[in-house]
Amino acid sequence: MKITLLDAKTLGDDLDLSSLEALGELTIYATTTVDETQERIAESEIIITNKVVITAELMENSPKLKLICIAATGMNNVDLKAAEEKGIVVKNVAGYSTQSVVQHTFAMALYLLEKMAYHDEVVKSGTWSDSGIFTDISHPFYEIAGKKWGIIGLGTIGREVAKVATAFGAKVSYYSTSGTNLEQEYPHQSLTVLLGECDIISIHCPLNQQTQNLINKGNLKYIKDEAILLNLGRGGIINEADLAVELDSRVLYAGVDVISKEPIVRENPLMNVQNREQLLITPHIAWASKEARVKLLEGIVANIKGVTKETNG
């Protein structure tokens, strides 16, 4: 089988791809542009893509193509209808990054809650050395215990975040973006009430018509001063321009791992926030622990083996 991996760089240079090489004739590309895609997949039977878009036209001009493996959970980069019409199987990998995203959620929350940016700098700059006192409590931090933690999107990841937050001693509530996931062990609140009552708010929902621009200037104002807002869902759920204005107008903290356009453009309003200690941005890494990426690769291999086994009989 001719297998083509289109964007290996998104899996990381530290993964052992020998399990893929054992399945067929593997061609690896670090990245693939729109203009390069057709030529690279024209003779392929199996392609692996994380973010490279596979359109109906590309499939039409790749007559040997039997399987598209998506190296992610989301499938919006493949024309699924066209694939079905052409008898091309499309497989994603689900559940591989849950623990990684949960861990990153709390890493971001604790970084902001404990004012780590300030405390790291006050030591490294020598300010603490010159202070004459054994501690620095000028920037007080708080405990998660007893705080209200609101979760927007109580799916698989959201439920795991709820468990950990509860273990820390937080009081968890949630908002269902679909309006259907209402029978849970945690109290459901309207979005406005959740934003207004919670000390820490984390977003774990998908980007769709219901969640596009969900958090904006119309409701950011309800979030209490010194609260923490975290986006571990998708860029576009928070209006970034509105958030930037809010961060510079009062003491509010935000951590975002996802951006509306990735990588972030220098013109993004969040890049120009003046109150920089109130904002933490990470480069879409919540999903990407070493363990999660190993699980992802294992899922891709399993998908290829499963489909080829069915095809062969």
Query: Cα(first)–Cα(last) distance of the chain, in Å?
Result: 16
What are the pLDDT digits (tens) for 49-88?
999 999 999 999 999 999 999 999 999 999 999 999 999 9
Give CA–CA dist 219/196, Å, rounded: 9
Question: Percent of the chain at pLDDT above 70?
Answer: 100
- Give the global pTM: 0.95
Residue 2 has pLDDT above 80, yes or no: yes
What are the pLDDT digits (tens) for 161-197?
999 999 999 999 999 999 998 989 999 999 999 999 9
Q: Classify domain 98-281 by CATH architecture.
A: 3-Layer(aba) Sandwich (3.40)
What are the pLDDT digits (tens) for 281-291?
999 999 999 99
Contacts of 150 (CB under 8 A, 6+ apart): 172, 173, 174, 175, 189, 194, 195, 197, 198, 200, 201, 202
pLDDT bin (cut points 50, 70, 90) of residue 313 is low
In CATH, the number for domain 2-94+290-311 is 3.40.50.720
In the chain, which residues fall in CATH 3.40.50.720? 2-94+290-311, 98-281
Q: Where are the beta strands (DSSP E) in the chain?
A: 2-5, 25-28, 46-49, 67-70, 89-91, 148-152, 171-175, 200-203, 228-231, 253-256, 279-281
Mean pLDDT rounded to a whole number for the chain? 97
- Active-site residues, by number, are 234, 262, 284
Instruction: Determine how β-strand 89-91 pairs with β-strand 2-5.
Output: unpaired
Structural tokens at position 51: 């973010």
What are the pLDDT digits (tens) for 225-238?
999 999 999 999 99
pLDDT at 312: 72
